[in-house]
Chains A and B, each alone.
Chain A
Amino acid sequence: MQVKTIMVAVALWIGPSLLHAQFDFHVDSRDVQVHSFASQGFMYSNTNNYLTMNTSHGSAALTDFGVNISTAITDKFRVGAQLYDYNLGLLGNFHPQLDWAYGDYKFKDWLGIRAGKVKTVQGLSHDVQDMEFLHTWALMPQSVYPLDTRGDTIAHIGADMYGDIGIKKVGSFAYTFFGGKRPNDADGGYLYGVDTMSHVPAPQGGFMYITGQTKNVTYYGGPVYGADLHWTTPVKGLLLGASYMIQDITTTGTYVKPIVVPYKLTTVTDKATEFYLEYTLGNLRFAGEYRSEPKIVQLNQPSGVLVQGFQDSRSGYVSLSYRFTKWLELGSYHSRYVDNWPVMHSDPRNHIFDQVFTARFDVNRNIDFKIEGHFIDGAAIDGVLDHGFYAAPNPTGLAPNMHMLVMRIGYHM
């Protein structure tokens, strides 16, 4: 697996250079643009295995790449598509995905429609969370932007209505209303987590899992709709925003243990609210996001009895970064995830706190390298879902604290 990963990574690095991965050409006098990106990461942790990677021994199973093509058919109508592929530990497995593909008609600057598979606009960075070259960080704050469930949440198949409205002295407002269906990432962390989830907390502080596949879950999806509002305020460099999203997710499959019967998990209610801000002053950037997502789900137990699960998760982060030169940027963020807000927050089974320090080096306009330290407190194993700390890759249990080194190199054109 390591050899395969390294070979793919090498091919990724050589390939774009040979092809000169961004180029323009013309079809029937229309300018067609092709862009691409690739990244390779390495993670080493002192205790737990994270994000299904074998991080406790050092792992390079963090690779992604994509290529997109787009053109303007008319002044108002654009079309484009992006292919994306990734491998993250036991997830992804280099199965290519159609990341986005849509037509975009802009009636006016204040009214446009996109339809197809569209990246979901939520918060500061939801739709660009997976493009490492856009961010200071090697790993985005996992409380708000979990890498392992990226494919389950990053896009919807449906439509957006969007626009920009400028109001003198008040600033400008960018709005997006969206609606559609969640795609099913068969190789994503959500299905993997549900498949392998079966754990109990150890009595004295640590965590212990009973592992083994209990389900074979094959489908995740359902309607999703919501809105986002970015307000570029009259205060220079200050952006405020809010997002709202409602999901009705159904997960289906089969129980494998203790008996083979159908498995079905449905959403009773799932509403996510998010507030965010960004302030930039020259090379200084401060950002913060806060997200609340209370949800009730219903599932059948192997016996056939229907049970409901309640979760009121809260997550957020604050970050500060400064670009010292064209090639050096330093930053830090503090990320917090609390799985169930009404329950004691200080319990490491109910939270993941992550303090991060990053140095980003821009070798040139197209290549960046990052080195990052994570100081993680908690693993939130009491939750309905796993949050990077999965049962199967940690068969001997989980430590409540973890330190981790992340290095990542990225290329884009």
Chain B
Amino acid sequence: MKNLQIFLIATVVGICAAMTASASDIKVIANPTVGASSVSADELKGVFLATKSSLSDGSHVEPVLEKDGPVHEAFVKEYLGKTDAALQTYYRSLVFTGKAAMPKTLAADADVVAYVAKTRGAIGYVSAAASTAGVKTLEVK
């Protein structure tokens, strides 16, 4: 009986671990028109909170988000310091006062990569394992 309990707990913990992601599981990508090859964590936060519209090299950037999932949750928590619900509230407060547009939100890694590849200044994030042909990967310092 005790072994069964341990097995169940281990299974639940394992499933939870598999469903979460950390910063090391995330790759920040950008359209090739973005001149920078790296971005600071503060810059990344500013871009995704719509307080910065350009990087330190002067490149104009626009954020692209994933709709949900472990990579999205990890990115929002690690780099923006918010929950998804708080982030959505934040964006809506900007949209309904006219201060910013709702950023593009896409369903999966492949969609984000395809959109970033074809959109000038687009910057997004995908899982580290995702194929990133046609976009550049930015180092987060």
Interface string of A112-145 (1 = CB under 8 A from B): 0000000100000001100101100000000000
**A134–B99 touching, CB < 8 Å:** no
Stretch in A2-10, A67-75, A244-252, A401-409 touching the partner = A67-75
Total interface residues in chain B, CB < 8 Å: 25
**A37–B99 touching, CB < 8 Å:** no
Residues on B with beta carbons closer than 8 Å to the beta carbon of A71: 101
Interface residue? A286 (CB, 8 A): no
**B102–A33 touching, CB < 8 Å:** yes
Bound-state Cα–Cα, A133 to B96, Å: 11
Select the residue from B54, B99, B100, B102 with max chain A CB neighbours within 10 A. Answer: B99
Are A109 and B102 CB-contacts (below 8 A) given A35-B96, A75-B60, A412-B92?
Answer: no
Task: State the Cβ distance, A140 to closest chain B Cβ, in Å.
Answer: 13
Interface residue? B14 (CB, 8 A): no
Q: Which of B74-92 contact A (CB under 8 A)?
A: 81-83, 85-86, 88-89, 92
Bound-state Cα–Cα, A75 to B83, Å: 28
Residues on A with beta carbons closer than 8 Å to the beta carbon of B88: 365
Bound-state Cα–Cα, A128 to B82, Å: 19
Interface residue? B53 (CB, 8 A): yes
Interface residue? B51 (CB, 8 A): yes
Task: State the Cβ distance, B20 to closest chain A Cβ, in Å.
Answer: 14
Pick the contact of A104 from B89, B95, B98 — CB < 8 Å?
A: B98
Interface residue? A146 (CB, 8 A): no
How many residue pairs, one in A and one in B, have C-beta atoms under 8 Å apart? 79
Bound-state Cα–Cα, A100 to B99, Å: 11
**B85–A109 touching, CB < 8 Å:** no
Interface residue? B97 (CB, 8 A): yes
Which secondary structure dominates where chain B touches chain A?
loop
**A166–B95 touching, CB < 8 Å:** no
**B86–A280 touching, CB < 8 Å:** yes
Interface string of A85-126 (1 = CB under 8 A from B): 000000000000000101010100100000000010000000
Are A236 and B101 CB-contacts (below 8 A) given A106-B53, A133-B92?
Answer: no
**B86–A131 touching, CB < 8 Å:** no
Interface residue? B42 (CB, 8 A): yes
Which secondary structure dominates where chain A touches chain B?
strand
Interface residue? A283 (CB, 8 A): yes
Interface string of A56-72 (1 = CB under 8 A from B): 00000000001010111
Q: Which of B49-67 contact A (CB under 8 A)?
A: 51-54, 60
**B97–A128 touching, CB < 8 Å:** yes
Bound-state Cα–Cα, A102 to B100, Å: 12
Residues on A with beta carbons closer than 8 Å to the beta carbon of B99: 104
**A172–B51 touching, CB < 8 Å:** yes
Are A127 and B97 CB-contacts (below 8 A) given A75-B53, A75-B60, A109-B51?
Answer: yes
What are some 23 contacts across the A-B interface (CB < 8 A)?
A33-B102, A35-B95, A35-B102, A37-B96, A72-B101, A75-B60, A80-B98, A81-B98, A106-B53, A131-B92, A131-B93, A133-B92, A134-B89, A134-B93, A164-B52, A166-B42, A166-B46, A172-B51, A174-B51, A280-B86, A282-B83, A326-B85, A362-B85
Please name 13 further chain A to chain B contacts, defined as beta carbons within 8 Å, in addition to the given A134-B92, A164-B46, sorted by A numbering. A22-B102, A35-B96, A66-B96, A71-B101, A78-B98, A82-B98, A100-B97, A102-B98, A104-B98, A131-B93, A133-B92, A323-B83, A326-B85
